Amino acid sequence: MLRQYNQPEVFSVHPSPISNGSNCSAAHNHGEHASMPSNRIGNPALICAGDVMTRDVVTLSQQSTILEIISLMANQGFRQYLVVEAPRRLVGIISAHDILRALARESNWRYCHAHDLMSRHIITATRNTELSVAAAMMLSNRANCLPVIDDYGNVSGILTFTDLLKGYPGIRRRLANQNELTNSRAKSLVGAGAELIANLK
């Protein structure tokens, strides 16, 4: 039996190293999660969600009350929170819009809990989802954040627009390094070819 957390839980998860030859995103569906595919093979210039995501994530349990959620939003300033089952399996997401809708429509809103308010259809990324793909999904779905999950649907972190902006300077640096390495290898090959031709004469 899973133990429920009535109070918000904070945890930190460090991404595991990405091995060569693995797909940049595990195209798995966990419940109603829509995970985004990508590919990092042979392209070290790519930066993925796991490189820039926020790892310290405040989460809610399904039993968190609406008053607890309102207090959390007011004190911490976040507009969206992930809802998890023990230990950290993603089951939903709650936004400030969900809270306002409950306040406007539910006469007994004081008795609402996270499981009454949360959205269960969640667009997610994995640690290996390309940053450009994650950004496109956030924009097309008008999402302010993107949960990052592992192969089992557990929360590894969260990706925000601030995280995306932090990632793009790194993309430029990696591209510059990759171009420099490519040019160096090309010069070496040209030099070796010229030497071979000279020896054949």
Q: Provide the residue range defining the domain that includes 54.
A: 9-200
Phi, psi of 144 (to 5 degrees): -85, -15
Which one has a higher pLDDT value, 35 or 14?
A: 35
Which one has a higher pLDDT value, 160 or 186?
A: 160
Alpha-carbon gap, residue 165 to 192, rounded angstroms? 42
Q: What was the pLDDT predicted at 174?
A: 65
- CATH number of the domain at 141, please: 3.10.580.10
Range 95-116 average pLDDT: 93
Residue 4 falls within a domain, yes or no? no
pLDDT band (50, 70, 90) for residue 182:
low
Provide the number of structural domains found in the chain.
1
Residue 3 falls within a domain, yes or no? no
Helices (H) and strands (E) in the chain, counts: 6, 8
pLDDT in tens, 35-44: 544 445 445 5
CA proximity to 130, closest of 49, 41, 21: 49
Range 80-98 average pLDDT: 93
Residue 85 falls within a domain, yes or no? yes
* pLDDT of 13 over the 90 cut: no
Residue 14 falls within a domain, yes or no? yes
Residue 57 falls within a domain, yes or no? yes
Residue 135 falls within a domain, yes or no? yes
Of the chain, the percentage scoring pLDDT greater than 70 comes to: 62
Phi, psi of 190 (to 5 degrees): -65, -45
Residue 174 falls within a domain, yes or no? yes
Mean pLDDT of all residues belonging to the chain: 75
Least confident interval from 20-24, 80-84, 141-145: 20-24
Q: What was the pLDDT predicted at 28?
A: 32
Q: Are 144 and 53 within 8 A, CB to CB?
A: no
* pLDDT of 180 over the 90 cut: no
Range 108-129 average pLDDT: 93
Residue 1 falls within a domain, yes or no? no
Q: What was the pLDDT predicted at 156?
A: 96
Q: Are 56 and 155 within 8 A, CB to CB?
A: no
